[in-house]
Amino acid sequence: MRAWRETRRFPLAVQLLLVNQLGVNIGFYLLIPYLAMHLTDHLGMSAAVVGIVLGVRNLSQQGLFIIGGSASDRLGARGVIIAGCALRTAGFALFALGDDLAVLLAASVLSGLAGALFNPAVRTYIAQEAAERKAEAFALFNVFATTGALIGPLLGSALLLVDFRTSALTAAGIFAALTAAQALVLPVRKVEPSKGTVLADWREVLGNRAFLAFALAMVGMFTLENQLYLLLPDGARRATGWEGAAGLVFLLGTVANLTLQLRITRALKERGDRARWIATGLGLMALAFLPPAAMAAGSGGPDDTADAVLHALPVLVGALLLHLGVMVAQPFVMELVPGFGRPELTGTYFGIFYVFSGIAAAVGNTVVGWAMDAGERGDADWLPWTCCALFGLVSALGVARLHRLGALPSPSKPAVPAPA
């Protein structure tokens, strides 16, 4: 309830976009986690074909964030948000109506492009509307997003008791409703005409060495955040011998987010520089992987229920620390990104930042997956956990180094872009 009361203190446009993110994550997560199962079990597709369909969706999104960011700067974030949600509606409807590969690939491209459009656009709009309260706005954004990511899979599993088509049409209906709400409520903001070309904008952002160094330092955050869906659920299942244990990781994160996110952001905002808290959050994220590493190195599987609970504790402690680290760092990261350059390029900065995040998540998950396989073969179950801890530590040290060099912006002192 505290989060909802705080939400009502923001302009109506920000309120809508926060609720929009709840709906976006509900619609996304009620469908996408079950898509691979549908393609294999219901449509009889091979693992290779499934990989192509999922890979096309991911590539369409991660590779085109820069397009969504530039479109937000030049056309206005409002129109890009609406277009993105409309495309997601069409893409998810195609998943419901099409069974052959060509239709499924078209659905993947549309749904990926949709994310590439509205993800940077939403953040651009919030950054512009929230003004000096960006950190609190992005903290609430995190709360709504996490809540949607929990509700979505639960709703999806219930709808799958009917069939996949019902799930896909429900997801499409959610995005259609969001599209209509945005078209009706989001106010039009005047966009100053750009004096240069899109390529010139990209060169300006990519020539900002401080921004590129910061984006590179954030590789650890995006890699470790992705372990909420890979390593930690796998660790919970292995520790307890119970498939449902993975759900505890998500439930714990949602409860922590709802109760602590806004309190943490508001308390830290008034105490010290933003970069200091980003580095602290990354340090917490690194620390999160040490309790599960100790558990993995020191014992085998559980013998009984009491032993399973005991084995689960280090994983759950790690999950809580990881969520806390994200809650400390992420709102200030989102607040910092627009400060690296001109306000007219806010969308482009977010777009390129999320291109980096997509690459980081892909490469990081590959490394962690390799470490999981190598650890299992070599009786070294601690290896992937230690690998993640090192990722977080290197990122924390990278941000601390940039802070000492004075390369990072602050709410009172935007960074001066360094020439290429």
Q: For residue 413, give the 3-state DSSP assignment.
A: strand
Name the pTM for this structure: 0.87
Segment 297-342, tens digit of pLDDT:
555 566 566 667 787 889 999 999 999 999 999 999 999 999 999 9
Q: What DSSP string describes 263-286?
A: HHHHHHHTSS-HHHHHHHHHHHHH
d(CA 176, CA 85): 7
CA atoms within 13 A on the CB side of 74: 17
| Direct distance between the N- and C-terminal alpha carbons of the chain, in angstroms, rounded to an integer | 47
Segment 248-289, tens digit of pLDDT:
888 888 889 989 999 999 999 888 788 999 999 999 999 999
Flag whether pLDDT at 418 surpasses 50. no
d(CA 107, CA 93): 8
CA distances from 160 to 29, 35, 91 (A): 13, 11, 19
Range 365-374, long-range pairs (CB < 8 A, 24+ positions): 365/223, 365/226, 365/230, 367/223, 368/223, 368/227, 368/230, 368/231, 369/230, 372/231, 372/234
Q: Which residue has the higher pLDDT, 418 or 56?
A: 56
Strand partners, 413: 410
* Residue in this structure with the two tokens 């806004």, named with its chain if needed: 262
At 163, list the tokens.
């069939």
At 164, list the tokens.
């996949």
Q: Look at residue 416 in the predicted model and tell me its pLDDT.
A: 47
Segment 78-110, tens digit of pLDDT:
999 999 999 999 999 999 888 888 898 999 899
